[in-house]
């Protein structure tokens, strides 16, 4: 087993030339370094014949670049993050990069630990959905010259590349949509979080409510986990009977909320109209189909890779950060119309 992998040294010895020559030819520097055409051809032919490929480890060690990007998200099994993972994969491989993933579970301590682990592991760049209070770690990465792009959330205090969506604007539109459909008591059901993607959604809701001279009904679910979320939302609806419209700021909340409403015998959309952030395959299957804000996954992935590759590209290293704020799409379905 395990026939030893050929090294550049083996090639050189067999062909009776120097390692340097082979290396130059391999790296397309034959012309520049004045290696004769004849020898170049000969070496190339032999390399092809034996199917030699250079050791990336050795290259990484020598060049100080490992061609690895860390994709650090809240939870890789979450459909949103898994979808992005899928979409960036191809672009990364096309550019010779590998992607290592890891999940923070939105815990700051875990995120910091992961960042330290990977810093030491000679990765080149990080794509991160930051947890709360991660500013210092992130600044550390920048100081040490790692590539870095934030997404889903950004940090107002840190000047760096990011890819986010128009949270406030979309939340405004979703709320206004419910109001336009005749809702008078529109509730916001969100998670208790001070992270900017959530506070922006809250802002959008509040703006729409106040512009229409309505009263806000904000419910922030604490300690978010499936079972607890369901119970809390059930309580909320029991205690707030007049609600006729709900905007959920994440699809998980919507799933739980819809089930709670179902069990309370609340008719959607007859009695309560519903809109959710983060569209999902299942919203289109649900009865009624759920109106939802769709994030532009492909575009997010594209911009993420554009931003990170841009940073890792030697030539453009010291051009400024790339910051993208992308538009969402409100997919209007039965839950807010019939």
Partner DNA sequence: TAATTTTGATAAATCGTTTTAGTAAACTTA
Partner DNA sequence: TAAGTTTACTAAAACGATTTATCAAAATTA
User: Rule CB under 8 A: which residues touch its own copies?
Assistant: 1-3, 53, 55-58, 60-61, 66, 68, 75-79, 82-83, 85-87, 89, 93, 98-103, 117, 120-122, 142-145, 255, 258-259, 262, 281-282, 285-287
**Which residues within the stretch 45-84 sit at the binding site for DNA (CB under 7 A)?**
52-55, 57-59, 61-64
DSSP string covering 88-123: HHHHHHHTT-EEEEEE-TT-HHHHHHHHHHHHHTT-
Closer to DNA by CB, 5 or 194: give it.
5
- 147-151 vs 161-165, strand pairing mode: parallel
Closer to DNA by CB, 56 or 86: give it.
56
Q: Find out whether 183 and 273 touch, Cβ atoms under 8 Å.
A: yes
Residue 274 burial (C-beta neighbours within 10 Å; 0-12, 13-18, 19+): buried
CA atoms of 60 and 70, how far apart (whole Å): 16
CA atoms of 255 and 224, how far apart (whole Å): 13
- By the rule CB under 7 A, 36 interacts with DNA: yes
Closer to its own copies by CB, 41 or 282: give it.
282
- Residues listed for the chain: 338
CA atoms of 130 and 74, how far apart (whole Å): 8
The option from its own copies, DNA, none interacting with 262 (CB < 5 to 8 A, set by class) reads: its own copies
- By the rule CB under 7 A, 248 interacts with DNA: no
The option from DNA, its own copies, none interacting with 24 (CB < 5 to 8 A, set by class) reads: DNA
Closer to DNA by CB, 27 or 211: give it.
27
Query: Among the candidate windows 25-33, 101-109, 160-168, 317-325, which touches DNA by CB under 7 A?
Result: 25-33
Closer to its own copies by CB, 3 or 194: give it.
3
As measured in angstroms, the least distance from the Cβ of 263 to DNA is: 58
CA atoms of 163 and 240, how far apart (whole Å): 37
CA atoms of 143 and 187, how far apart (whole Å): 43
Binding site for DNA (CB under 7 A): 4-9, 16-21, 23-24, 26-27, 33-36, 38-39, 52-55, 57-59, 61-64
């Amino acid at each position: 087993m395990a026939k030893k992998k050929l090294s550049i040294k083996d090639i050189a010895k067999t062909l009776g030339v120097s390692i340097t020559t082979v290396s130059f030819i391999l790296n397309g520097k034959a012309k520049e370094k004045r290696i004769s055409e004849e020898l170049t051809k000969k070496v190339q032919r032999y390399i092809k014949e034996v199917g030699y490929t250079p050791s990336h480890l050795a290259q990484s060690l020598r060049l100080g670049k490992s061609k690895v990007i860390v994709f650090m998200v809240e939870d890789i099994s979450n459909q949103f993050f898994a979808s992005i993972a899928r979409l960036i994969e191809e672009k990364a491989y096309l550019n010779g990069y590998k992607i290592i993933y890891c999940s923070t579970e939105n815990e700051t301590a875990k995120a910091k630990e992961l960042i330290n682990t990977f810093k030491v592991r000679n990765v080149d760049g990080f794509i991160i959905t930051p947890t709360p209070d991660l500013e210092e770690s992130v600044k550390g990465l920048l100081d040490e010259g790692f590539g870095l792009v934030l997404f889903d959330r950004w940090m107002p205090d840190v000047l760096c590349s990011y890819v986010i969506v128009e949270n406030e604007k979309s939340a405004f539109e979703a709320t206004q949509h419910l109001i336009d459909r005749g809702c008078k008591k529109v509730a916001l059901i969100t998670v208790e979080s001070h992270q900017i993607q959530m506070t922006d959604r809250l802002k959008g809701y509040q703006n729409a409510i106040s512009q229409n001279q309505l009263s806000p009904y904000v419910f922030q679910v604490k300690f978010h986990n499936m079972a607890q979320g369901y119970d809390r939302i059930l309580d909320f609806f029991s205690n707030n009977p007049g609600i006729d419209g709900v905007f959920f700021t994440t699809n998980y909340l919507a799933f739980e909320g819809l089930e709670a409403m179902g069990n309370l015998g609340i008719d959607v959309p007859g009695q309560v109209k519903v809109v959710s952030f983060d569209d999902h395959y299942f919203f289109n299957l649900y009865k009624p189909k759920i109106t939802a804000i769709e994030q532009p996954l492909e575009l997010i992935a594209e911009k993420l890779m554009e931003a990170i590759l841009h940073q890792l590209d030697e030539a453009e290293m010291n051009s400024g950060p790339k910051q993208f704020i992308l538009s969402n799409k409100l997919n209007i379905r039965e839950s807010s119309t019939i």
